[in-house]
Structure 1
């Protein structure tokens, strides 16, 4: 008689839990992402090292960013890059640099302080992108700026991770290592551009000839997973690779043909990412380094608000859209988890608690962003057909 709990049964139960929590979130008006993360925390011991959950979560996050990449062809991405770099550098200074200094002021050593800065740096791409999609804000004026910042952070965060992993493993992180990382990012991006302009230039016609939807799913998801996997193989983020894979296919005329095939699989897999994310959060006993925790949480929220209010206008946004962007960038997530894996002991528990609180506060601020903006700036003036009102 088998006494081991079958993983297949576990997978089925997780999907049923996801369904129930998604339904519950509509009733109690709490973002379903929060409930998925809490489910992961509650089931952390039971789901530890669950390979099916881990694989499903990887597929979900890859497909989310693959579909995001479809919205950005090379021409549009180039235009965004020119506009976002001042705001991106401001983000590095505020969220990574100043947070590191705050940790130093609490008598942490340089490595631990930089680790805390790294954990507080990157906005959760997965949580933010999911909420943008769920709340129908993809067409908002500030969304391009938010996505541009997320992409910029996805370029910087792997370098931060590599530095921390290099130092923690005892290896020396030299300028050669740094330039090798930058070279990998540049090479992967260049390859995506070349493939997009050559191999995938006439991809739409090829898709039209595939009548069987099963083959189409295999092809499109295979491209997304392969390029995301290539990024991982090179020591970069699968999120970056998946975005670039989407960008390759963005050159085709009608991206809807790709989206309608991939959407159902993404919607099935993506909730598992947040459940898995919850299982990685280690809370420990009590509240470690409470004053530092409070200080870092407060500053990390203020840093993103300043990024929106100051960086938004640099990108060309109105004050209203800039504030809404800042309020929407506060959640921390997957890169924070990856960076926190380097931590040990008290710092590990500190990191887990910070990520959970920052993710929760960030999602609440995202939800309230439109109302807060309206309260400060009043209701937006509706545009007339023959009149364009500045600042809207």
Structure 2
């Protein structure tokens, strides 16, 4: 019956629902992102094929990471990369490797266990970045570490997806395929740097000359979406492409001009991503391997907290800030959904249930992270870094 439901009516009702849930979240002091995801789950049968919702969600997530990319020029990103690689590898070992071992011990074959490890690996970049913005924590001492770790995961997660798809479709995956994938990532990054240093070197002058705000919106969104689409064409994540597009324009003198133009569109589109994300979670019938789900939930939260505590210290953060970082990176999201969609049967249902619970618990831990850190280490002087909220 839902096939006869007008797509435009569905999109309009989604926007009205987002408005109501946004007001509700403010009244009850509850994360709006969770409400949006639950909204999508409830309306999954009606909205699963809604093309407008899907399109809007893609634009929203692309613009979020485009604006984040603006804060990281090549020099700054290079400095971060030198500091984050050890924490990133620790994350792979704890969040993917150990979870994979648990799945194998519960009777899964190695390929299914690898899919489960992939599902539990990556922190939700979109949820975490949105909460950093919502909670006014973009300027906190731990935020650079968190964003650096998310970027590292956004580089590793496409490789995991490619390996799983390669084995799933052909039964095997060659070393040359991984080399090719790394080549695509490096090539896309070099293209962004080259364009930023040449074609877009005087981009700010062009923006000043354009008086019509609508034309600016078309230009900037066109650039971010095109680079995200190029990444997808290469078999990479649109999130990575959008971030690189932002980095491409980060060399201009005043990025506030770009932020001021793009932020309103991002704020309109981004909530639709979380609604659409909710529609993709297939809970199925029954609860497969309930004890494995419990173990995975508990361990995946512990793993991320350990990555924050240990990796944060390696990155140069204090014990208190490292703990706050670890508590802030527990939510799973978009890459977990992509990986779970490759699975079948029990693993697919397990993945859907895991993602929903992990997203919920992760957002609660994010919300409570400052309080927990203060309770353990006491309140100290607020430290901040020169990282502005995109669109502020």
In structure 2, what is the Cα distance between the partners aligned to 1:291 and 1:67? Answer: 40
Query: Does the 8 Å CA contact 2:67/2:243 hold for their aligned counterparts?
Result: yes
- Report Cα offsets for 1:240-297 as digits up to 9, x if no partner: 0000000000000110000000001000000000000000001112221011100011
Aligned to 1:299: 299
The CA deviation at 1:27 is 0.7
Moved more, 147-156 or 197-206: 197-206
Aligned length: 381
The CA deviation at 1:5 is 2.7
Residues 4, 101 of structure 1: alpha-carbon distance in 2 compared, 3 angstrom cutoff: closer
- Report Cα offsets for 1:344-364 as digits up to 9, x if no partner: 111111000000000000000
Aligned to 2:223: 223
In structure 2, what is the Cα distance between the partners aligned to 1:339 and 1:372? Answer: 32
The CA deviation at 1:320 is 0.8
Equivalent residue runs for 1:180-195 within 5 Å:
180-195=180-195
- Report Cα offsets for 1:318-369 as digits up to 9, x if no partner: 1111000000000000000000001111111100000000000000000000
3-state SS, counterpart of residue 170 of structure 2:
coil
In structure 2, what is the Cα distance between the partners aligned to 1:288 and 1:56? Answer: 33
- Report Cα offsets for 1:205-246 as digits up to 9, x if no partner: 111000011110000000000000000000000000000000
Aligned to 2:386: none
In structure 1, what is the Cα distance between the partners aligned to 2:79 and 2:71? Answer: 13
Aligned to 1:161: 161
3-state SS, counterpart of residue 341 of structure 1:
helix
The CA deviation at 1:4 is 3.5
In structure 2, what is the Cα distance between the partners aligned to 1:42 and 1:6? Answer: 18
In structure 1, what is the Cα distance between the partners aligned to 2:354 and 2:150? Answer: 20
- Report Cα offsets for 1:20-78 as digits up to 9, x if no partner: 00000001111000000000000000012211111110000000000000000010000
- Is 1:20 aligned to 2:20, yes or no? yes
Equivalent residue runs for 1:58-77 within 5 Å:
58-77=58-77
3-state SS, counterpart of residue 354 of structure 1:
helix
- Report Cα offsets for 1:150-185 as digits up to 9, x if no partner: 000000000000000111112531011010000000
In structure 2, what is the Cα distance between the partners aligned to 1:105 and 1:6? Answer: 47
Query: Does the 8 Å CA contact 2:60/2:269 hold for their aligned counterparts?
Result: yes
3-state SS, counterpart of residue 169 of structure 1:
helix
In structure 2, what is the Cα distance between the partners aligned to 1:171 and 1:288? Answer: 25
- Report Cα offsets for 1:121-161 as digits up to 9, x if no partner: 00000000000000000000000000000000000000000
RMSD in angstroms over aligned alpha carbons?
1.0
Equivalent residue runs for 1:32-111 within 5 Å:
32-111=32-111
Unpaired runs of 5+ in structure 2? 384-392
Aligned to 1:141: 141
Aligned to 1:285: 285
Query: Does the 8 Å CA contact 2:11/2:50 hold for their aligned counterparts?
Result: no
The CA deviation at 1:102 is 1.0
In structure 1, what is the Cα distance between the partners aligned to 2:220 and 2:164? Answer: 34
Aligned to 1:388: none
The CA deviation at 1:382 is 6.2
Unpaired runs of 5+ in structure 1? 384-392
Structure 1 stretches of 4+ moved >3 Å: none
Equivalent residue runs for 1:160-309 within 5 Å:
160-309=160-309
The CA deviation at 1:8 is 1.3
Residues 11, 382 of structure 1: alpha-carbon distance in 2 compared, 3 angstrom cutoff: closer
Aligned to 2:121: 121
- Is 1:352 aligned to 2:349, yes or no? no
In structure 2, what is the Cα distance between the partners aligned to 1:226 and 1:172? Answer: 32
TM-score under structure 1 normalisation?
0.96
Aligned to 2:389: none
Query: Does the 8 Å CA contact 2:124/2:332 hold for their aligned counterparts?
Result: yes
In structure 2, what is the Cα distance between the partners aligned to 1:368 and 1:5? Answer: 40
